[in-house]
Structure 1
Amino acid sequence: MTDTPAIEFRDVSLRFISADGNATVALRNFSMSVARGEFVAIVGPTGCGKSTTLNMVTGLLRPTVGEVKVMGQPVRGIDPRIGFVFQADAVFPWRSVVENVAAGPMFRGKSKKEAHELANDWIQRVGLGKFGGHYPHQLSGGMRKRVALAQTFINSPEILLMDEPFSALDMQTRTLMQDELLKLWSGTGGSVVFVTHDLEEAIALADRVFVLSARPGMLKRVYDIDLPRPRVTSQVRYEPQFIELSKHIWEDLRQEAVLA
């Protein structure tokens, strides 16, 4: 790790102006620092600006007030060092799994042969070795999420942004995907910002959990998750410390959900 944060928000506020001239403040005086190699989760009630923070890191949105920095530099646009995993599947339905995973490296200048070799390696890593020739419609939801992880990690992102990537999955598949994510992330040294509505998911995955208030989103509290790594998410939930953290964070979230 270096002293320069991977991501830094400094007193950021974001205001939207609608077509009829009304102003909506999505974030207010928000500050956050994410260290190199750190896994951070953001939780809060619906509409508090969780996904907005990710869009400002990518440069898709710019703060009305304050500053967002990536690797010590102000965000000026799309940064190739950043990977993004969405809630919806970001796959080409007319392409096979291997072609979907190889698309990123080819776009970045690698030959088709190199890209397909890399893609086959990552398909093996995410447990889809027998499905490289399949198409998205032939895969389950969990398998498509594995494709999404391979699509992202194949580009060696230094920062990984995840916007409720597992929310549409059943509990069993979600738990398996959480463990898969931790396994892949642990070998990269990258930083992760993970947005979720699931409090237990946030605690099981993250080094720190940022709790946002009801809109306008402000930083209410930061919790250090001092649970040992490596973690198995299906097991760590039964640790006394996990249960105690859940109680405290839920009380914060409950108050904000009522206000929202």
Structure 2
Amino acid sequence: MPQQAHSDGPVIELHGATKRFRAATGGVHTAVRDLDLTVAAGEFVAVVGPTGCGKSTTLSLVSGLEPPSDGRALVHGKPVDGIPDGVGYMFQSDAVLPWRTVLDNVATGPRYRGLSKRDARERARDWVTRVGLEGFEGYYPHQLSGGMRKRVSLAQTLVNEPSVLLMDEPFSALDVQTRGLMQDELLRLWSGSKAAVVFVTHDLEEALVLADRVVVMTAGPATIKGSFPVPLERPRDAEEIRLTPEFLEIYREVWESLREEVQITRERGTGRAA
């Protein structure tokens, strides 16, 4: 099957976006600089880069959690001022509430958006089933495995049917087998949703398995070094796609670009480079 079709107009836009923070020493730390990035509806973009280069800051600019110091961030053509409508954010750590059941955790978002308790729980029940947790609606988070909690988090995010999905290393704490299952689950649930996805990860294999395009960021202060289309057909099986010659070819191409930035960061850390 062909790649998922994308709409013509960008849903997410960063134009010359720079973010500076006040450092603990009293100086100014530039986290990211001169970012130019667009993401279309239905496009899945993965962002990779060396540790600490500002990948999560990039998500913060899109989500409205942080305003740019310079440049512009737009969602659906409007400048980001606060958290835009239609944005879902899945963090590295679980956002489940320990005192609520699986069903009530998933129903929290729809309730917050004004649905009645009955309608919110009905929508939540549908999404609990979609993520493979039917029969666990009455369980509490401490009764679930790590992978099951991630499924709850995914349902919490997708139940609101976001048009923009921001994901900050959501599967990094999982074991390899569970991570592969969650990658397949994400692709299945996202397919056909028309949501624009920005997925931050340290794992280049994960980026290539999931994305239509992989963006490589430089060592900090980060800017975008390169953007690589991923010419792998959909639907994809997260485990089997890794074994294909096409996957290995694009992996080598992107890793060649990323490796230089990882080496720069490593040398800075050991004091061999400025």
Matched residue type, 1:62: P
Percent identical pairs in the alignment equals 57
Q: State the Cα deviation string for residues 204-253 of structure 1 (Å, max 9, x = none).
A: 00000000000010111110001101111111111111101111211222
Please give the alpha-carbon distance, in whole angstroms, between the structure 2 residues aligned to 1:78 and 1:218.
23
- Alignment of 1:235 with 2:262, yes or no, is no
Please give the alpha-carbon distance, in whole angstroms, between the structure 2 residues aligned to 1:161 and 1:14.
18
Q: Who is 2:112 aligned against? A: 107
- Alignment of 1:28 with 2:33, yes or no, is yes
Q: Who is 1:88 aligned against? A: 93
Q: Who is 2:170 aligned against? A: 165
- Alignment of 1:253 with 2:258, yes or no, is yes
Q: Who is 1:156 aligned against? A: 161
Q: Who is 1:202 aligned against? A: 207
- Root-mean-square deviation (Å): 1.0
Shift of 1:2: 4.2
| SS at 2:121 equivalent | helix
Aligned pair partner of 1:44 in 27, 33, 49: 49
| SS at 2:21 equivalent | strand
Please give the alpha-carbon distance, in whole angstroms, between the structure 1 residues aligned to 2:190 and 2:216.
23
Matched residue type, 1:213: T
- Alignment of 1:69 with 2:71, yes or no, is no
Q: State the Cα deviation string for residues 97-127 of structure 1 (Å, max 9, x = none).
A: 0010001101100011111111111111111
Shift of 1:21: 2.2
Matched residue type, 1:48: C
- Alignment of 1:131 with 2:136, yes or no, is yes
| SS at 2:239 equivalent | helix
Aligned pair partner of 1:59 in 59, 64, 69: 64
- Residues 17, 71 of structure 2: 8 Å contact kept: yes
Shift of 1:71: 0.6
Q: Who is 1:190 aligned against? A: 195
| SS at 1:130 equivalent | coil
**TM-score, normalised on structure 1?**
0.98
Runs of 4+ in 1 over 4 A off after TM superposition: none
Aligned pair partner of 2:217 in 188, 212, 218: 212
Q: Give ranges in structure 1 of 5+ residues lacking alignment.
A: none
Please give the alpha-carbon distance, in whole angstroms, between the structure 1 residues aligned to 2:48 and 2:173.
17
Give the paired residue count. Answer: 260
- Residues 47, 200 of structure 2: 8 Å contact kept: yes
| SS at 2:185 equivalent | helix
- Alignment of 1:14 with 2:19, yes or no, is yes
| SS at 2:10 equivalent | coil
**TM-score, normalised on structure 2?**
0.93
Q: State the Cα deviation string for residues 72-116 of structure 1 (Å, max 9, x = none).
A: 111011123000011000011000000100011011000111111
Matched residue type, 1:218: T
| SS at 1:192 equivalent | strand
Please give the alpha-carbon distance, in whole angstroms, between the structure 1 residues aligned to 2:176 and 2:194.
27
- Residues 42, 192 of structure 2: 8 Å contact kept: no
CA distance 1:102–1:41, change in 2 (3 Å)? same
Please give the alpha-carbon distance, in whole angstroms, between the structure 2 residues aligned to 1:241 and 1:20.
48
Matched residue type, 2:36: S
